[in-house]
A and B are shown apart, each in its own frame.
Chain A
């Protein structure tokens, strides 16, 4: 819907600010991309990709100062999907935003693809950090934010982590450092979909009370419904205005959101649907408009 326009010159921001209904429509398109690419690959992580669709869509189509024709622009906002296994949602958003042709989505996880099983910054335009080993993307974001402060750059660093990922000790090392250096130029969004690889987070290793933990680590904490686009956009916009303290947004989400048989079902953490189930998923996401 917004891709048909002249490319923005390198070194400047490509300003895109979709309305809430447009963002909702884009999130649905992204969800379809996720289902299609994982079905074609017959591997990947649909559940945690679908739960983060609103968050990434809002960032790339409303919040972030970026330029898809100049992905290495120094003054750009940075985005890191620290829960790197959910990269299909990242790949879909980057393709829809114009970083590369959508045809690449069908090459996910195949030989010679620019779209690796976990995101590779050297292969995929727009990927600001190689991720996959949980906890590390957040720390890399801390480094980017420190660099921004040192060089007096006004870019913002956006990081999405999972709630399961918060079991990693290094997440809390990074949280401590964000508070120490008062990094108000980084915002973390926790995609709190309550499910990890094996089963529910509560059963594997309880991480709640998550807001209290982040508060105790010195962060400004917001909580939202991660599928309410208005709430997502408002929280992200507000996070940028908070000064002197880093902000974390706990986004309550549903793993597998938008696909009835995947929603809240741990088995869909890392499994591809059959073509028949994919068809059903696409129909559900588009409200029957698919075909």
Chain B
């Protein structure tokens, strides 16, 4: 079997004219909002902190269900983040919900000094990560959050591809001692996985077998990697796809094994090419097994307003770009002889 843990209807659609058409989809921020209620029912230590975007993330549903465990700090992310640190010192498990631009940038000082330095058990639930909040424009597009968080010591950085694995991540984070940064999409993304997905923080999952090249992707670009792989197969190219849902700690073993077995790597992330997945994999390969590699990600530019899919296409993040990158890798893998 070529695919693993992928829903049959997703596989059936991969080579369709519109591979997204007809698929069940949900913004992963809303998967978080559902999962946190289920988690809070099981774990009395879970509390949710908001900063005036609970209607958007839908954590207002948590607030209705658990009013005493819900804290809306208003438009004051810095106070919210450090207050979460204080709560964590007493044994609570705060999930701090806001947009990724604010979580990772406005409150980065608090994240670093009050949460990661003392290693406190705070979970950051960051919606609108990457250039997913298309129409909102640049100020609300966190194209750097994964890179910034990855640079902080003691960090764990997660970017789930769909609602299924996002819900698994929200629950796994509660059992993970220490800070966890969970990034979510603003826009709906297809439900890719079946419920038997073997979710484990720090463990990347090979979701498509392949021998010629490996595509390592995270969050909303996993779907694009799958589409690219299916279409490349029609051209005789066998691409492995790895869902690297945990950017940090990086699953070096799975990625290195794939690199050794396929001899070429393409990374795909809806995040800048500086310091994120592409950088992490490049660092790993350069030190251990240098092979041809290409990075799909936001180049050295800000994006703009626009519908989600059009936007990520314009900025080079969709499956045609991944297919081109694969071909570049293959060209370098097998030098043309005169």
A152 CB to closest chain B CB, in angstroms? 11
Q: How far is the CA of A138 from the CA of B78 in the complex (A)?
A: 11
Q: Which residue of A140, A150, A173, A181 is within 8 Å of B86 (Cβ)?
A: A140
B-side contacts of A148, CB under 8 Å: 90
Interface membership of A169, Cβ < 8 A: yes
Interface membership of A141, Cβ < 8 A: yes
Q: Is the interface of A mostly helix, strand, loop or mixed?
A: helix
Q: Is the CB of B69 within 8 A of A136?
A: no
Q: Is the CB of A130 within 8 A of B76?
A: no
Q: How far is the CA of A133 from the CA of B110 in the complex (A)?
A: 8
A-side contacts of B118, CB under 8 Å: 120-122, 129-130
Q: Is the CB of B87 within 8 A of A170?
A: no
B53 CB to closest chain A CB, in angstroms? 16
In chain B, positions 31-86 with a C-beta closer than 8 Å to chain A are 47, 68-69, 71, 73-74, 76, 78-86
B-side contacts of A39, CB under 8 Å: none
Given A136-B82, A136-B114, does the pair A173, B76 have CB atoms closer than 8 Å?
A: yes
Q: Is the interface of B mostly helix, strand, loop or mixed?
A: helix
In chain B, positions 114-145 with a C-beta closer than 8 Å to chain A are 114, 117-119
Q: Is the CB of A130 within 8 A of B83?
A: no
B118 CB to closest chain A CB, in angstroms? 4
Interface membership of A68, Cβ < 8 A: no
Interface membership of A46, Cβ < 8 A: no
Q: How far is the CA of A147 from the CA of B71 in the complex (A)?
A: 11
Interface membership of A132, Cβ < 8 A: yes
Interface membership of B92, Cβ < 8 A: yes
Q: How far is the CA of A145 from the CA of B83 in the complex (A)?
A: 9
B-side contacts of A128, CB under 8 Å: 89
Given A129-B89, A146-B83, does the pair A139, B109 have CB atoms closer than 8 Å?
A: no
Q: How far is the CA of A150 from the CA of B114 in the complex (A)?
A: 21
Q: Is the CB of A130 within 8 A of B117?
A: yes
**Nearest chain-B residue to A180 (Cβ)?**
B74
Q: How far is the CA of A133 from the CA of B78 in the complex (A)?
A: 12
Given A122-B118, A130-B113, A176-B74, does the pair A74, B90 have CB atoms closer than 8 Å?
A: yes
Q: Is the CB of A139 within 8 A of B86?
A: yes
Name the interface size band of chain A: 20 to 34
B123 CB to closest chain A CB, in angstroms? 14
Interface membership of B91, Cβ < 8 A: yes
A-side contacts of B68, CB under 8 Å: 150
B-side contacts of A120, CB under 8 Å: 117-118
Contact with B along A170-195 (1 / 0, CB 8 A): 10011011000100000000000000
A-side contacts of B80, CB under 8 Å: 139
Given A74-B90, A143-B86, A147-B87, does the pair A132, B79 have CB atoms closer than 8 Å?
A: no
Interface membership of A164, Cβ < 8 A: no
In chain B, positions 256-311 with a C-beta closer than 8 Å to chain A are none
Q: 16 new A-B pairs (CB below 8 Å) besides A133-B110, A177-B83?
A: A74-B90, A121-B89, A129-B114, A133-B113, A136-B78, A138-B82, A139-B86, A139-B110, A140-B85, A143-B88, A170-B79, A170-B82, A170-B110, A173-B78, A176-B76, A177-B79
Interface positions of B (Cβ within 8 A of A): 47, 68-69, 71, 73-74, 76, 78-92, 94, 109-110, 113-114, 117-119
Q: Could you name 20 residue pairs across A and B whose Cβ atoms are closer than 8 Å?
A: A74-B90, A74-B91, A121-B89, A122-B118, A128-B89, A130-B118, A133-B113, A136-B82, A136-B109, A136-B110, A140-B85, A140-B89, A143-B85, A143-B88, A144-B87, A150-B47, A150-B69, A170-B110, A173-B73, A173-B74
